[in-house]
Structure 1
Amino acid sequence: MASTITDITPDQPAFDQLADLFDEYRVHYGETTDPGGTAQWLREQLTAGPLRAAVALPDLGFVTTVVLPASLRLATFWQVRDLYVRPDRRRGGTARALLNHVVDQARAAGAIRVSLQTEPDNVPARALYTSAGFRPVEGLIGLSLTLSATAQRV
């Protein structure tokens, strides 16, 4: 049975499934489970923030994206922030279907590109992304400044 991919807002019944799955995703990457905090954060981000989400049911996967300005081109681009399918449901095409869903939506909205990032050792994800046409960005270096109570001022 193929998954049905649905865009999710906090007022939809499937939001609770998304929140549970998102908490599971956080735990998968080493965070402590926090179902209430996860649901609250998602609700805030989907309501007032730039985050968008789609869920694949019944295969239990999701994707989140943000739409960002492409200022030099006076356009927008979409960035995939999170893509997750439950481990026991992988290798069935759900991740590819979620990725295609984002690309189709971005294209329909007139975005100039879809971007994403992943860890260098996430071989399965990199294989999926390259097979879908994503390529490394040459000539750019990603930089990040971690903000915390002990972070130095710039």
Structure 2
Amino acid sequence: MEIVIAELEDLAELSQLFDEYRVFYQQESDLAGGEAFLRQRMENQESYIWLAILDEQVVGFTQLYPCFSSVSLASQWLLNDLYVSPKARRQGVAQGLIEEVLAFSQGMASKGVLLETAATNLPAQSLYEKIGFVREKNYQFFYSTESDD
């Protein structure tokens, strides 16, 4: 498996996986909207996106956004998206992508990496704990949204 930073020329393959990811989280398929969203992130250098490649096919991706901790006076990262194509699951793809993100975070001398997943996504939770992520117990997270997304 090869893990690389996504480039604009990877956008078509990445957009397909991104659409599958959004559908996994009960969103309507919107390939064009997803591609536009990813293009904007990439062109504005607002996130880092890694691709996992197996047998010359993009089979997974993760997207990392920068954020900051005022209390710690440090940068940190939000691992906002992680998806592996069903045909490539249980082959170490997700773990490889996460390990790449963690190495990147350490190399940037950041506080760490935050992530969230659906309460029902038990396989992902198990993987995160196996890799060394710790379930947050000290803070409650609240959201304010204009929609049901």
Give the alignment's TM-score, normalised by structure 1: 0.87
CA distance in 2, matches of 1:75, 1:28: 33
- In structure 2, runs of 5+ residues without a counterpart are none
Q: Secondary structure at the match of 2:87?
A: helix
Over residues 74-123 of structure 1, what are the superposed CA-to-partner deviations in whole Å (9 max), with x where a residue is unaligned?
22001110111011210000000000000000000111111111122211
CA distance in 1, matches of 2:32, 2:62: 20
Offset of residue 124 of structure 1 = 0.3
Q: Secondary structure at the match of 2:51?
A: strand
Instruction: From the CA coordinates, give the structure whose radius of gyration is larger.
Output: 1
Instruction: Give the letter for the 1:78 counterpart.
Output: W
Q: How many residues are aligned here?
A: 144
Point out the more displaced range, 83-92 or 64-73: 64-73
Q: Secondary structure at the match of 1:33?
A: coil
* Conservation of the 8 A alpha-carbon contact between 1:78 and 1:113: yes
1:39 is matched with which residue?
35
* Conservation of the 8 A alpha-carbon contact between 1:79 and 1:114: yes
CA root-mean-square deviation: 1.4
4+ residue segments displaced more than 3 Å: none
CA distance in 2, matches of 1:141, 1:49: 30
- In structure 1, runs of 5+ residues without a counterpart are 149-154
CA distance in 2, matches of 1:126, 1:34: 27
Within 5 Å, which residues of 2 pair with 1:13-52? 13-48=9-44, 50-52=46-48
Within 5 Å, which residues of 2 pair with 1:103-114? 103-114=102-113
Over residues 12-38 of structure 1, what are the superposed CA-to-partner deviations in whole Å (9 max), with x where a residue is unaligned?
x22221111101111222222221111
Q: Secondary structure at the match of 1:129?
A: helix
* Conservation of the 8 A alpha-carbon contact between 1:106 and 1:114: yes
2:6 is matched with which residue?
8
CA distance in 2, matches of 1:53, 1:36: 18
Over residues 54-77 of structure 1, what are the superposed CA-to-partner deviations in whole Å (9 max), with x where a residue is unaligned?
110126000011111122222200
